[in-house]
Structure 1
Amino acid sequence: MYSRITRCIIALLVLASCKSENKKEESNTWRTKKAAIENAAHNQLLDVEKKEGWKLLFDGETMDGWHLYNGPNANSVWEVVDGELHSNTNDESLTAGDLVTDQPYDDYELVLEWKVAGNGNSGIFINVIEMPDVPTAWQSGPEYQMLGADHMDYNVPEKRPGCLYVFQPQQNKVEVKQGEWNKTRIKQVDGKVTFYLNGVLTAEEDFSTPQWKEKIAGTHFSKYPEFGRTTEGKIALQYWYFETWFRNIKIREL
């Protein structure tokens, strides 16, 4: 039989060992999580995404699949930096304008991540008609609104992030993560569109109805005959004088 002193010593050694193992486990867990964050793969498709029909709209290295609206050969403000699609606002020799997909889409689901400067303003235009006599993407394509939290319109109900710009306030309130990546999802089927910001439903509209035409007639967009008239078109990323970043742009046709 062990003496009382010996038993105490053994108990202390066991306790110290447990604490050491706990610390080791916590340390290993933290290192694993940290490594996962640091080594997260962007602009790539998982095997399950490929099976579901997802395709990359941005490969993280080139501008393939995109061009400047009405300026496919222009030396534009858009560039790829560190695996991110970036709007360069500092070089005035570059051609400013919205970036548009080479291909049109009708029924689809689009997901992407974005950041914008604190007082920045950007957006995603859908169903864009690219024509020489339509000078800008916003004159044909309804807009998913993107704003920095310091922008003067941030708290204007019909101009909040994730809104169908000008037409309706956020369906459910959600804030942007300033300085961090925000997640957007846009789904359109038979003209019925839904917008999401950071997992929250922010807008719903049916572009195929007479009511939609009536809504257009009540806004300044009524001056532009091509605006909102189709449920098929190109997707455009808005350039608006402040830096914007995009990554993980994926689409699947439905």
Structure 2
Amino acid sequence: MSRASWFGIAATLTLSASSFNVFGEINALTPAEEAQGWQLLFDGNTTKGWHPFQHPDAKSAWEVQDGVLTVNLKASDVQHGDLATDKVFENYELQFEWKSPVEGNSGVFINVQETPEHQIAWQTGPEYQLLGTAHKDNDDPAKRSGDIFGYTSPLAAAKMHSDGQWNHSVIKQNNGKVEFYLNGTLTSSVDFKSNEWKNWLSQSRFKDLPQFSASSKGHIVLQEWTSPIYFRNMKVRVL
């Protein structure tokens, strides 16, 4: 094979790697996914469909960089804070890919109520924890990545991908029953309507928040915290 032919193949492979991953084309739906009812939550180019939590008309610190949704922690003259979907969701399956710095700490909240009396997303919405591989909270069964923050899951911890690689997460909710997955492993499974959950809640750090997990319908919210976080391939389908 000539050197020119080899470089041509290498260039093609590089282009393919930048446009596709193991789940298909980045920030796009396959015909099969469209037939199954999947919709993109992030189009890969804009923050359309999202707004700063509690500030729907403000310019957000969240931005798109090379097909990735992230937050500019140093941005000025913008609204900092969590990013919320414009729509509310009830029975659905959410898939997304994410990566974090090794010491990173962020999360995705579900069933968030955007009301005047609840100015912070975690006051109403349970959190899918997102941590870097070296974050100390990964050693805490109640705070590890891929789990419901604050809840000690009896299920085994999921294996996170190496630094700089994308992790794949799934959140399923149907009639108040929620399952969290990280890289193909079921990490948390709870029924927010069950007595078991309510008993746990009454003794948890959220016991003085009467609206926490009280609704099985609400906004999906991405957390701006103390470190960068990166999202792509965010898609949802109604169940």
TM-score, normalisation: structure 2 = 0.89
In the TM superposition, what whole-angstrom CA distance separates every residue of 1:36-88 from its partner, at most 9, and x where no partner exists? 32331311100000000000001011111111110112232211111111111
- Deviation, 1:93, is 4.2
Measured on the aligned residues, the alpha-carbon RMSD in Å equals: 2.0
Structure 2: how far apart are the matches of 1:203 and 1:37?
32
Picking from 193, 213, 216, the partner of 1:231 is: 216
**Structure 2 segments unaligned to the other structure (5+ residues):** none
User: Are 1:128 and 2:112 counterparts?
Assistant: yes
* Matched positions, count: 230
2:65 maps to 81
Q: Say whether 1:183 aligns with 2:168.
A: yes
Q: 1:64 aligned to 2:48?
A: yes
1:201 aligns with one of 186, 202, 220: 186
For residues 163-203 of structure 1, give each alpha carbon's deviation from its aligned partner in whole angstroms, at most 9, with x where no partner exists. Answer: 11111236122232221111000101111111100111111
Richer in helix (by share): 1
Identity %: 42
Question: d(CA) in 2 for partners of 1:92 and 1:153?
Answer: 30
How far apart are residue 150 of structure 1 and its match? 2.0
AA paired with 1:137? A
**Correspondence for 1:140:** 124
Native 8 Å contact 2:144 2:157 kept in 1: no
Assess if the C-alpha contact under 8 Å between 1:163 and 1:170 holds in 2.
no
SS in 2 for 1:67: strand
Structure 1 runs (4+) greater than 4 angstroms displaced: 26-35
TM-score, with structure 1 as normaliser: 0.84
Residue pair 1:162, 1:170 contacting (<8 A) in 2 also = no
How far, CA to CA, are the matches of 2:193 and 2:12 in structure 1?
A: 49
Gaps of 5+ in 1: 1-19, 21-25
1:100 aligns with 2:84: yes
Deviation, 1:132, is 1.2
